[in-house]
Amino acid sequence: MVTLSVSLQMRILWTLVMGTLFVLLVQYQTSSVWPQQQAQMNSRVDPFAEDLVAIALSKVEIGDDTTVSKEMLLGITRQIARYVVYSSGCSVSPISGPPPITLYIITPTYRRPEQVADLTRMAQTLMLVRDIHWLVIEDAKSKSPQLNALLQSFGIKFTHLIAPMPSRYKNTRGAKPKGVANRNRALNWIRENANEGVAYFADDDNTYDVRLFNEIRDTQRVSMWPVGLCTKTGLSTPIVRNGSLIGFYDGWIANRKFPVDMAGFAFSVNFLKKRPHAKMPYKPGYEEDGFLRSLSPFEPREIELKADNCTKILVWHTQTKKNEPSLKVNVEKYNNTNILELKKIIV
């Protein structure tokens, strides 16, 4: 029998109560707030409820002096979540299923005025998703300690890597192959460190619906889905007729075999590892197409269609307005004020 301190017991109790409340809240939402989309996605309420319980648990601090692990607590609350969902009539098994599949979220990033804001928004979406490993690859020659501290603060499992854009591309006047060195670095990391799972190129300035992540988790080879706010068509998506892919809708086809957006596809780690030469080319405008072609043998007919046969938009290519770097601060005038602290955060 494990003995726990009173304060730890209180925290566990609090967590269990909060977890249960979260589950009830989710049930309330799924029953009334998102009637259209949720109707078809009802069978997937369970992982979402678990996500919320996991968030509640991530707030619990457990010292090294106890034998209770977060895993154990998560197990308990998972069972509660399953029981509540099950008893409400949803078709969810109360018994644990196969081990969860890890999603490797590959995010290139670089220092600029919008960086912290963009990453904060993205991280707080990822906090709602279970079983993810966030690969954040900085376009820089050395790791930024500030970025590392920011990533730590979110409580998401992450790996901070670096991959500078080669100077021959950085100094060009024309279009740059943005995020290519970063993504290739992540592909190599996955080859060396991951055994199975699903990988997704998720830029730091897009808007993600949390439901996207569970949608793509069962990708066997390569899955695709629509991306909103993309090119002059406002949309980049596979074209689907009678459940089958018949082409691609995108404002920029340009002879591409796979005219899709970076945020519009995911691939399985196994599939990637069987293609040791797959990589992204330094070719502005052709990064997605080049990468997907490099996955050969792979043909459009093999694409797994997601988001209810590509009828939902679960990711948006929002982009963030570019800001000028902030003005210099007069350090004498603002000596001993918060301004100097704040200036360390902004660019």
Q: List the alpha helices (DSSP H) in 144-286.
A: 145-154, 167-170, 180-193, 211-216, 269-273
The reply to whether 15 sits near ligand UDP by the rule CB under 6 A is no
Closer to ligand UDP by Cβ: residue 50 or 205: 205
> According to CB under 5 A, which one of 46, 205, 215, 287 is a site residue for Mn ion?
205
Alpha carbon distance 76, 60 (integer Å): 14
From 144, 180, 175, select the one nearest 163 (Cα to Cα). 180
Would you say 22 and 15 are in contact if contact means Cβ atoms under 8 Å apart?
no
Alpha carbon distance 335, 134 (integer Å): 38
End-to-end CA distance of the chain: 53
The reply to whether 50 sits near ligand UDP by the rule CB under 6 A is no
Alpha carbon distance 317, 328 (integer Å): 32
Q: Catalytic residue, from 50, 215, 287, 288: name it.
A: 288
Alpha carbon distance 331, 312 (integer Å): 51
Q: Which of residues 258-277 bind ligand UDP (CB under 6 A)?
A: none
The reply to whether 179 sits near ligand UDP by the rule CB under 6 A is yes
Distances (CA, A) of 143 to 110, 114, 223: 11, 18, 32
Would you say 194 and 131 are in contact if contact means Cβ atoms under 8 Å apart?
no
Tokens 């691609």 — which residue? 248
> CB of residue 235 vs ligand UDP: minimum separation in angstroms?
15
The reply to whether 282 sits near ligand UDP by the rule CB under 6 A is no
Closer to ligand UDP by Cβ: residue 131 or 203: 203
User: Candidates 7-15, 107-115, 244-252, 334-342 — which segment interacts with ligand UDP by CB under 6 A?
Assistant: 107-115
> CB of residue 239 vs ligand UDP: minimum separation in angstroms?
22
Tokens for 184? 């290739």
Helix axes 180-193, 287-294, angle to 10 degrees: 30
Number of residues engaging Mn ion in binding (CB under 5 A):
2
Q: Is 288 a catalytic residue?
A: yes
Q: Which of residues 193-212 bind ligand UDP (CB under 6 A)?
A: 203-205
Give the one entry of Mn ion, ligand UDP, none that residue 311 binds, where binding means its C-beta sits below a cut-off of 5 to 8 angstroms depending on kind.
none
The reply to whether 289 sits near ligand UDP by the rule CB under 6 A is no
Closer to Mn ion by Cβ: residue 47 or 108: 108
> According to CB under 5 A, which one of 203, 250, 287, 288 is a site residue for Mn ion?
203
> CB of residue 142 vs Mn ion: minimum separation in angstroms?
24
> CB of residue 282 vs Mn ion: minimum separation in angstroms?
17
Closer to Mn ion by Cβ: residue 205 or 304: 205
Residue 173 amino acid letter: R
The reply to whether 319 sits near ligand UDP by the rule CB under 6 A is yes
> According to CB under 6 A, which one of 182, 184, 219, 268 is a site residue for ligand UDP?
182
Alpha carbon distance 37, 21 (integer Å): 23
Give the one entry of Mn ion, ligand UDP, none that residue 165 binds, where binding means its C-beta sits below a cut-off of 5 to 8 angstroms depending on kind.
ligand UDP
Tokens for 173? 């006047």
Residue ranges that bind Mn ion, judged by CB under 5 A: 203, 205
Catalytic residues: 288
